[in-house]
């Protein structure tokens, strides 16, 4: 599941444009858009996160990546650059 916040998505027309753009990129993707919170949730099948972001951008909107609460990166340990080194 990939989530974006799209602040310039303001009405049902925007929702249908973005939905169409995403389906054109990945026709089997699951798309769920919540206009109230301006969130676009995509469950891609053949596309990756960059393809999805690009499809939204190409449609004329500005996607901002949002953490979905799954697999969030833990804060790095003090004393190493990313927590995996050393
Ligand atoms: Cu609109």
Residue 7: CATH number of its domain = 3.30.70.100
Residues flanking ion ligand 1, Cβ below 5 Å: 10-11, 13-14
Q: How many domains does the chain have?
A: 1
Cα(79) to centroid of ligand 1, in Å?
48
Whether 15 is covered by a domain: the verdict is yes
Cα(74) to centroid of ligand 1, in Å?
36
Note the Cα 39 to chain centre separation in Å.
Answer: 8
Whether 85 is covered by a domain: the verdict is no
Cα(59) to centroid of ligand 1, in Å?
12
7/16 Cα distance (integer angstroms): 15
Cα(49) to centroid of ligand 1, in Å?
23
Instruction: Report residues of the chain scoring pLDDT below 70.
Output: 68-86
Domain that holds residue 46: 2-66
Whether 61 is covered by a domain: the verdict is yes
Whether 48 is covered by a domain: the verdict is yes
Whether 46 is covered by a domain: the verdict is yes
Whether 78 is covered by a domain: the verdict is no
Which pLDDT does position 70 carry in this prediction?
Answer: 53
The pTM of this model reads 0.77
Which pLDDT does position 84 carry in this prediction?
Answer: 53
């Amino acid at each position: 599941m990939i989530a974006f916040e799209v602040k310039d998505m303001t009405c049902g027309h925007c929702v249908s444009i973005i939905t169409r753009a995403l389906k054109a990129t990945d026709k089997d993707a699951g798309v769920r858009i919540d206009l109230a919170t301006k969130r676009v949730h995509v469950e891609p099948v053949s596309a990756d996160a960059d393809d999805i972001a690009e499809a939204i951008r190409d449609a004329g909107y500005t996607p901002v990546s949002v953490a979905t609460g799954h697999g969030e990166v833990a804060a790095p340990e003090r004393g190493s650059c990313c927590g995996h080194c050393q």
